[in-house]
């Protein structure tokens, strides 16, 4: 049951409207004297409920955005695909595999092998450039390659050549073969 503010008589006592024998004109003057009185308490309740619900919407939106940012990764990228087959048409691997295409998404979601090995991917980004959703297949291929080889996950640097260079720079005996960044003759002008 919703309670509403009381109507007050001129002497300050509360007035129960159902027990009152006052006419409409007297009641309307009392409404003017007591502006906190609401004719429809349910509308006030709805506004209060709505004002309580607003922070929940804000927190819910933040949780949703947090979950979406955590879902970023190759699974999120693969979910963006809607099967237009433009990536398969752009893939140059079929030129070397007697016309067979590299079906990355098909192989991933169905856990099947269609005859074209995943390591035949050139990571040339032709599929990503042809994709209307801009699905990043190259980083997925690099992650899968590192899972097979047993190396560290390569989610930070998806380019294979850059990974090889950084790995070679990290070796102890590689210091003599590489020039440090400070020694490069680069002008910052």
Q: What is the pLDDT of residues 144-171, one digit of tens each?
A: 677 666 665 544 444 554 455 555 555 5
**Residue 6 confidence class, pLDDT cut points 50, 70, 90:** low
Residues in the chain: 189
1 burial class (0-12, 13-18, 19+ CB within 10 angstroms)? exposed
Residue 84 clears pLDDT 70, i.e. is over it: yes
Number of other CB atoms surrounding residue 31 within 10 Å: 12
Q: Average pLDDT, stretch 104-126?
A: 69
Residue 174 clears pLDDT 70, i.e. is over it: no
Contact partners, residue 32, CB within 8 Å, separation at least 6: none
**Residue 128 confidence class, pLDDT cut points 50, 70, 90:** confident
The answer to whether the beta carbons of residues 5 and 34 sit under 8 Å apart is yes
The answer to whether the beta carbons of residues 73 and 113 sit under 8 Å apart is no
Q: What is the average pLDDT value for the chain, to the nearest integer?
A: 63
Residue 178 clears pLDDT 50, i.e. is over it: yes
Q: Average pLDDT, stretch 48-57?
A: 55
Please give the domain boundaries of the chain with CATH numbers for all domains: 25-70 (no CATH), 74-174 (1.10.1060)
């Amino acid at each position: 049951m919703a309670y509403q503010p009381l109507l007050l008589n001129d002497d300050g006592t509360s007035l129960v409207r159902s027990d009152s024998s006052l006419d409409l004109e007297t009641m309307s003057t009392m409404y003017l004297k007591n502006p906190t009185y609401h004719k429809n308490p349910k509308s006030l309740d709805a506004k209060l409920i709505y004002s309580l619900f607003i922070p929940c919407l804000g927190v819910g939106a933040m949780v949703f955005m947090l979950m979406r940012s955590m879902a970023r990764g190759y699974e999120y990228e693969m979910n963006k695909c809607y099967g237009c087959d433009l990536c398969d048409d752009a893939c140059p691997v079929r030129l070397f595999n007697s016309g067979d295409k590299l079906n990355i998404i098909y192989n991933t979601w169905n856990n099947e092998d269609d005859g074209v090995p995943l390591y035949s991917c050139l990571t040339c980004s032709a599929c990503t450039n042809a994709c209307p959703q801009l699905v990043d297949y190259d980083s997925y291929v690099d992650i899968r390659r590192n899972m097979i080889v047993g190396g560290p996950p390569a989610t930070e640097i998806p380019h294979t050549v850059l990974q090889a260079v950084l790995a070679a720079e990290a070796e102890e005996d590689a210091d003599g073969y590489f020039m440090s960044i400070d020694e490069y003759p680069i002008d910052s002008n």
